[in-house]
Structure 1
Amino acid sequence: MRFKMASCPHVDQGLVELDVDVPMIGRVTKTRSIDYGLLADAFEDAVASRRHLLGLGFSSNTLARKCRPGGGWTRLFLGVYLLTGGMPSRQQLVRGALLRAGPLTFITGIEAARRYGVRRLPADQRIHVLVPHGRRVTSQGPMLVERTNRPWNGTLIDGLPVVTLARSLIDAARKEGRIDVIRAFIADAVQRQLCSLESLADELKYQRLGGTSLPRRVLEEVGDGVRSAAEAWSRSLVHRSSLPRPQWNVLIRSASGVQLAVVDGWWNEVGLAWQIDSLEFHLAPEDYARTMAQHSALLANGVMTVHTVPSRLKKDPGGVIDELRGAYRAAAERPKPRVSATLWRPI
């Protein structure tokens, strides 16, 4: 008979047909006759649950013996085994967490966002899973279990069930206490059009969710065009001052339509640009090199530009505001440069 064990918890965990001949189908009575290599091949990612193995006729003592040093198996979680032994791959570890959490479990948070291709994520190796409310399973090792009554939608990525990216990002943000980290991964997902602000805002409509104050703040910033931690600091600083509020991340073109630069802040009424000069705080290193190359183009077209390093935003906010006020007055006294400005959003 040909079969494979369905170890994906969003489906019925029985047998599904596959092109693999496995001699141990049915109840196993003589374990010494088993080809353990074929047994591992019979399970997705070579990860099996205790229930599946007992169903094949293995005894509890055999499972315990196989997980001892030299036994050939590795216990990933309580009741979940890696049948090839050794250190598990990330895929195998995630598969094990899903099996441990049980049917109708989906991945969320950082792990899910990583699988959608989001960059600028923290080095968080936890496997955050959603399980139906009332499920009696607890967090264990790298597995973070969250019980919820909220419905969710999802899809399969690499054969694993994951919730939507919007849900993943909000769940990740709720578990993250560093606002600059949240800014980085939400801005990356939105600006690269992996996820919309509208879908993220929809996730935040659930008022009972804990830990949503920081992601709500970040969504407001990203909606204004902020794309880095330093720009968020800049935005907050200007909002606390008497200066008019600028536009954020604006593409400046010359009178003939030639692209000159993308500036961090732009006061269109006077033609004043503001650049936050930092490699560290932009979403990608190439952004910094591009910014430096564009400074001379702005100057040649009469655009006055204030340059600020991010450290001064924290250490000398009063001095930064004084410089901006002085530059704003000076720009207002000059003829407005003949340039056009449009909001810039990277793809």
Structure 2
Amino acid sequence: MNHDTTPASPGTPAPLSPASPRPLGHLLDSQRRVMSAAQLKAHGVTAAAVHGQCRPGGPWQRVLPGVILLHPGPATGEERLQAVLLYAGRPQEDRAQPRRTGGVPAQPLTGDVHPAPAVPYAEAMVTGLAALSLHGFVSAPPLLSLDHVDVLVPRTRRLRSTDFARLVRTTAMPTPVQRDGVPVAPVPRALADAIAQLSDASAVRRLLTEAVRAGHCEPAAVVRELTQARLLTRPHVVDAVDSLLAEGRAIAEDRLYRMVVEYGLPDPLWNVDLRLPGGPHLGGVDAYWPEHAVAVELDTRAPRQDEDALWSEYARKREHLERLGITVVHLTPRKLREALEQQAAVVRTALMAAADRDPAAYVVVLPR
């Protein structure tokens, strides 16, 4: 058979040869085992190649719409998280993506080039029980045992829950916390989203109790989120919150007692009511130094619908006591948890300043 070896004339375009499939070894060797279809395209993998790799019995699998698992076995807990974020998030520009300059495509990646590490994804974060597990809650189920992974997204996103990805929509996205490189909702928001899906009263109580005992957050922050989520209409949630507030106050009182002992403050009278002789009740305080006319009051209010009324009551009591010459030091559980030494200095300063003040009115001190 004769072969025409005549070179093409300069003005004749050369015949097109089929494009060679791009090698996939650099993806298989990468630590990134979950990628979106858009990321694979950025690495030069065509939709047809993805379809071929994901055929039954193939080396890849499609775990969520537009999300590919680059191995045939079951997804790990971490891979499920990555898949949900890839599905729900808006990825920032992939640093491994070939760039076009002056209309000319960049050269394809070679086999020894690895994809850049996974980058954060905007407008999506893990929440609910999966987030609590990442925060270290022992009462939260392991990631692999969860039927769904909750992911928080803006209300305007046009996405639907599918398979193990359950979307939770919000009008105001909180600032995420990074846990092992995964954007996670703060504990109070994650708790509210988890409790919204739970009907088991004991499970709700365990989560709320651990949140306070383990120091993950303050009760007031949890109640605020539960109020915004309109979950305080559920009786089992209300009962758990009441226990949460009692637990939070007990922990704050213990820290206050420890502060007095550890930082060498004079012993106060603990948990007393103050009353004018033969007059009205002035209110209760958590600690009182009668020789110095100094009182400490813990603010363990729960932010519910009557928050303004409660705060007005606190303010009126404080103003009344101070008009009588009693200094009121206002402490919060969070201040005692995060800055105990600083709060001890505040109380010590108030005690030392007593000598420079006019004598306070005489009040009757009664056990509370």
**Range of TM-score over shorter length:** 0.5 to 0.7
2:166 and 2:135 map into 1 onto residues whose CA distance is: 19
Q: How far is the alpha carbon of 1:208 from its aligned partner?
A: 4.8
Gaps of 5+ in 2: 1-18, 91-122, 255-368
Match of 1:139 among 156, 161, 165: 161
Matched, 1:51 2:70: no
Match of 2:194 among 172, 188, 210: 172
Q: What TM-score do you get using the length of structure 1 for normalisation? A: 0.53
Q: What TM-score do you get using the length of structure 2 for normalisation? A: 0.50
Match of 2:203 among 173, 178, 181: 181
- Contact map agreement 2:176 2:184 (CA 8 A) in 1: yes
Q: Report what 2:78 is aligned to.
A: 91
DSSP 3-state at the match of 2:199: coil
1:213 and 1:131 map into 2 onto residues whose CA distance is: 28
Gaps of 5+ in 1: 1-28, 227-246, 252-347
Q: How far is the alpha carbon of 1:150 from its aligned partner?
A: 2.6
Cα 1:211/1:98, change in 2 over 3 Å: farther
Q: Report what 2:62 is aligned to.
A: 75
1:108 and 1:211 map into 2 onto residues whose CA distance is: 22
DSSP 3-state at the match of 2:184: strand
Determine which structure has the larger strand proportion and give its number.
1
Q: Report what 1:293 is aligned to.
A: none
DSSP 3-state at the match of 1:223: helix
- Contact map agreement 2:61 2:70 (CA 8 A) in 1: yes
- Contact map agreement 1:179 1:214 (CA 8 A) in 2: yes
Residues 213-262 of structure 1, C-alpha deviations (whole Å, 9 max, x = no match):
54343121122239xxxxxxxxxxxxxxxxxxxx99x99xxxxxxxxxxx
Cα 1:68/1:163, change in 2 over 3 Å: same
2:38 and 2:229 map into 1 onto residues whose CA distance is: 39
DSSP 3-state at the match of 2:247: coil
Residues 293-304 of structure 1 aligned to structure 2 (within 5 Å):
none
2:235 and 2:156 map into 1 onto residues whose CA distance is: 27
- Contact map agreement 2:153 2:173 (CA 8 A) in 1: no
- Contact map agreement 1:131 1:146 (CA 8 A) in 2: yes
Residues 115-159 of structure 1, C-alpha deviations (whole Å, 9 max, x = no match):
111112255342000111121111111111112113312111111
1:210 and 1:134 map into 2 onto residues whose CA distance is: 26
Q: How far is the alpha carbon of 1:189 from its aligned partner?
A: 1.8
Query: How many pairs are equivalent?
Result: 207
1:212 and 1:82 map into 2 onto residues whose CA distance is: 40
Matched, 1:221 2:243: yes
Q: How far is the alpha carbon of 1:59 from its aligned partner?
A: 2.6
Q: Report what 2:272 is aligned to.
A: none
2:232 and 2:36 map into 1 onto residues whose CA distance is: 33
1:200 and 1:111 map into 2 onto residues whose CA distance is: 17
Q: Report what 1:106 is aligned to.
A: 125
Cα 1:61/1:128, change in 2 over 3 Å: same
Q: Report what 1:30 is aligned to.
A: 20
1:176 and 1:40 map into 2 onto residues whose CA distance is: 39
Residues 8-19 of structure 1 aligned to structure 2 (within 5 Å):
none
- Contact map agreement 2:226 2:232 (CA 8 A) in 1: no
2:151 and 2:209 map into 1 onto residues whose CA distance is: 23
Residues 1-347 of structure 1 aligned to structure 2 (within 5 Å):
29-31=19-21, 33-36=22-25, 38-42=26-30, 45-103=32-90, 104-122=123-141, 124-206=146-228, 208=230, 214-225=236-247
- Contact map agreement 1:154 1:163 (CA 8 A) in 2: yes
CA RMSD of superposed structures (Å): 3.5
2:72 and 2:151 map into 1 onto residues whose CA distance is: 24
1:50 and 1:211 map into 2 onto residues whose CA distance is: 43
2:59 and 2:211 map into 1 onto residues whose CA distance is: 41
DSSP 3-state at the match of 1:52: helix
Cα 1:168/1:134, change in 2 over 3 Å: same
